[in-house]
Structure 1
Amino acid sequence: MLTHWLIVEADLHSEYGIDVDNRGLMRRRSWRWLEARILGLLSADTRLHRALAPPPSTTPG
């Protein structure tokens, strides 16, 4: 997941309006809060979802 952090950060902003550079916000929130949102990114059509679960190839065979 950390290898995809730039994608996570972009998706958190585009999907939830969360700016992870807002240290005040991030300190007020729990790891559980962040985990729930990241898991939400995996269940939606997001960059993170596409990076970790790309669609099956459609090569003729």
Structure 2
Amino acid sequence: MIEADLHEVYGIDIGDRRLMRARSWRWLRVRVFGLLSAESRLSRHFAPPDKPSP
């Protein structure tokens, strides 16, 4: 879920080992937390849309 969101929202390919080794854990953490405020799978997981009342 996070891997797909990072690619879709930020264009980050975490499968690129050179890129990921060149970045800090803080850099990744900031982007993962950013997914919580973006339209993403991760944000929908933790804050699903309200279901209409029957």
Q: TM-score, normalised by structure 1?
A: 0.81
Structure 1's unaligned 5+ residue stretches are: 1-6
Percentage of matched positions with identical amino acids: 59
**Which residue of 31, 44, 53 corresponds with 1:50?**
44
Following TM superposition, the consecutive aligned residue runs of length 4 or more in structure 1 with deviations greater than 2 angstroms are: none
One-letter amino acid of the counterpart of residue 12, structure 2 = I
Count residues with an aligned counterpart.
54
Q: Which residue of 2 aligns with 1:27?
A: 21
Structure 2's unaligned 5+ residue stretches are: none
Q: TM-score, normalised by structure 2?
A: 0.90
CA distance in structure 1 between the partners assigned to 2:10 and 2:45 by the alignment = 19
Backbone CA RMSD of aligned residues: 0.9
